[in-house]
A and B are shown apart, each in its own frame.
Chain A
């Protein structure tokens, strides 16, 4: 089947299309390099004082996983690491351990005793290697070190202390399930006199919290939540990062591209009067639109493929496992959205004869729908006003992270696309083409 109009129209528009294809390829690569920076930022020890360093090494469910590392000294029998949960509004600059409410060694002892009965920790550990072994087994630290896994809030509820580690090792990896803000390590002297413990620290998780609790920040910030979507996902995992940083913007990038590409389908030819000679060849209006729509479809396919390759290559380049399925599904999930946009753009292109006005109207509509989505997310109008925005029908988290399609998100934009496309064909068939 010969498609001369398709070939001519595709060729005519190809420069802008290849530019967009290049941009999408490049953007995918670039955003993944940005992920490395985020990761670097998170893996840098953010808090380090003499002899002790706290580093974030990942996340486990919704909690951060830290590495706490310290230097030991001669004459040290064992190390005990505490996490401290503090009141807000403290004077951090002049903070000392004495400022921690309830932090005194008797309470530390109480803490141990809560779990090991009314037995002096010092006595036990000093005299009973078996207990030491038990302690190790109980905490199950693979490194042979031990950490105490559960947060222990103090009864007053305001501030608290939790045991993070006890043993002879010089580091611990732990899940900060108690959300402690400060960490200290006590070096227990050989005589096990707990009043002579030397403390290292404190190191703070405050700075890191501000970055790693981005998800929490989103949850608390409706504007950001509206922008990034209803369901929060981890920013620091590659999938979450791609969903947040790439696919939150992808619908806007795609729809603007389609607005530009589809807007001129009819109006450009009416405006510059090229449609006269094209139709004079004996092309029916139906065939004219078919081949012009094929150009849009080809543009869409090439840009989506370029974007897909860009992201996949980007993840591959930074040496991370590539979530191919998630990325593919997230791109496929944008196709109904694209179809909806193409239908609406075509309709405006048929209705408005001046191509600059058509493009303006379509861009205006796109931005309007984007704003509607944000506003309805903030106000919780997703099931009301939100329905009129195509952007509502794109859930990056569901697609990218959960890898599932929502029927509504496929059907509704497809129906919008189908109805407006049928209307466009009918109106174009009836349209009077003025000189």
Chain B
């Protein structure tokens, strides 16, 4: 199976409406074997809807999906068996220990190979002997992560996988994902955190109000998005000095003596220019998803997105 001929996930005009409410509209997408694909979008944009349709938990209104060459609407159970899935939120048998629960899932998968429960639990610092009802939200999320990878799936579909994980565990999770990639396994993950997607994904698709508005390679995407440089000077500085520098795409004058600029590449020139001034404070952050939308689609659309998306998609 070569990636170009037979993508692991293929969506063709996949559309889902909940009655009259929008879920996803005309989503076309192809995820290749061995890549880590980030499905980026704000809450309510339709990420979970797309994933649940792919896994036959809900059915498309129109269009179709193929997962590992199978049609989920016809072979839902087989599709699900062929993937490792982590839902955005999930319940468990709370009276069981983490280990018993994960073993039950393995038995349900009828998985007979070498499992990774102990290894993954060790890496994520998950106490397998404790009952699930005693777990915090973060620890329960670790169970989900283990369940998605414990049976060595060739394809993992992860819906907001780092929710509830502390930063250390998030880093460990990223390592686990990158290992999957090195094994030529495919990971499809949704997120509303730009930095997360940027740090581990090969490609990114942005979904907004149910539509997939952009799919890019990460390198191209990063160039487009840039980072936000927030500088406080000891006196007022002319913003046009920076505006003319290469890689600076956007500049705003903040309160006091602050300049906020978006830098997508060539940070070197900016730093050299900064060195000529007295700097009180400086931060260099990822562009937020909202700022990204603001940059590409205008203020009006963003505010519409925020309000319009709320509660529409489950």
Contact = CB atoms under 8 A, between A and B. Distances in A.
B77 interface: yes
Interface stretch (B6-14, B54-62, B191-199, B285-293): B54-62
B96 A282 contact: no
B110 interface: yes
A276 B84 CA distance: 12
Interface residues of A, number: 27
A23 B273 CA distance: 82
B95 A11 contact: yes
B88 interface: yes
Contact of A283 (B77, B84, B89): B77
Contacts of A273: 87, 89-91
B92 A5 contact: no
B85 interface: yes
A243 B276 CA distance: 99
Majority-rule SS of A interface residues: helix
Contact of B87 (A276, A282, A285): A276
B168 to A, nearest CB: 24
A4 B95 contact: no
Interface in A1-59: 2, 4-5, 7-9, 11-12
Contact of A277 (B59, B77, B85): B85
Interface stretch (B100-108, B215-223, B247-255): B100-108
Contact of A435 (B85, B87, B96, B147): B87
A276 B104 contact: no
Contacts of B147: 277, 280
B22 interface: no
Contacts of B314: 434-435
Contacts of A7: 104
A272 B91 contact: yes
Nearest to A278: B108
B108 A4 contact: yes
Contacts of A283: 77, 80, 108
Nearest to A3: B107
A220 interface: no
Majority-rule SS of B interface residues: mixed
A279 interface: yes
B96 A269 contact: no
A435 B81 CA distance: 19
A281 B105 contact: yes
B90 to A, nearest CB: 5
A8 B104 contact: yes
Interface string B181-195: 000000000000000
A274 B92 CA distance: 5
**Number of chain B interface residues as a range:** 35 or more
B247 to A, nearest CB: 40
A253 interface: no
Given A4-B104, A282-B78, A432-B57, A277 B109 contact: no
A284 interface: yes
B35 to A, nearest CB: 21
B77 A2 contact: no
A282 B48 CA distance: 19
Interface in B63-118: 76-78, 80-85, 87-93, 95-96, 100-101, 104-105, 107-110
Nearest to A287: B77
B144 interface: yes
B295 interface: no
A434 B53 CA distance: 10
B224 interface: no
Contact of A11 (B76, B80, B96): B96
A7 B109 CA distance: 14
A280 B93 contact: no
Contacts of B88: 435
A284 B81 CA distance: 10
Interface in A255-306: 269, 272-274, 276-285, 287
Nearest to B59: A432
B19 to A, nearest CB: 11
A279 B100 CA distance: 17
B89 A5 contact: no
A85 B82 CA distance: 87
A433 interface: yes
B59 A282 contact: no
A7 B58 CA distance: 27
Interface string B256-283: 0000000000000000000000000000
B96 A8 contact: yes
A282 B108 contact: yes
A170 B12 CA distance: 103
B268 to A, nearest CB: 45
Contact of B77 (A9, A282, A434): A282
A281 B109 contact: yes
B144 A433 contact: no
A348 B15 CA distance: 29
A433 B58 contact: yes
A282 B57 contact: no
A281 B80 contact: yes
A12 B87 contact: no
Nearest to A269: B91
A131 to B, nearest CB: 85
A274 B132 CA distance: 13
A287 B81 CA distance: 14
A435 B80 contact: no
User: Most A CB atoms within 10 A — which of B48, B83, B105?
Assistant: B105
Contacts of A8: 93, 96, 100-101, 104
Contacts of A278: 105, 108
A287 B78 CA distance: 13
Contacts of B104: 4-5, 7-8
A201 B45 CA distance: 94
Contacts of B107: 2, 4
Contacts of B87: 273, 276-277, 280, 435
User: Most B CB atoms within 10 A — which of A2, A269, A272, A285?
Assistant: A272
Given A277-B147, A281-B80, A435-B87, A12 B95 contact: yes
Interface in A121-167: none
13 contacts: A8-B100, A9-B93, A11-B93, A273-B91, A274-B91, A276-B87, A277-B92, A282-B77, A282-B110, A284-B76, A432-B59, A435-B88, A435-B314
Interface of A: 2, 4-5, 7-9, 11-12, 269, 272-274, 276-285, 287, 432-435
Q: Nearest 9 A-B pairs (CB), nearest first?
A: A282-B81, A272-B91, A274-B91, A4-B107, A281-B108, A280-B85, A276-B87, A284-B77, A432-B58
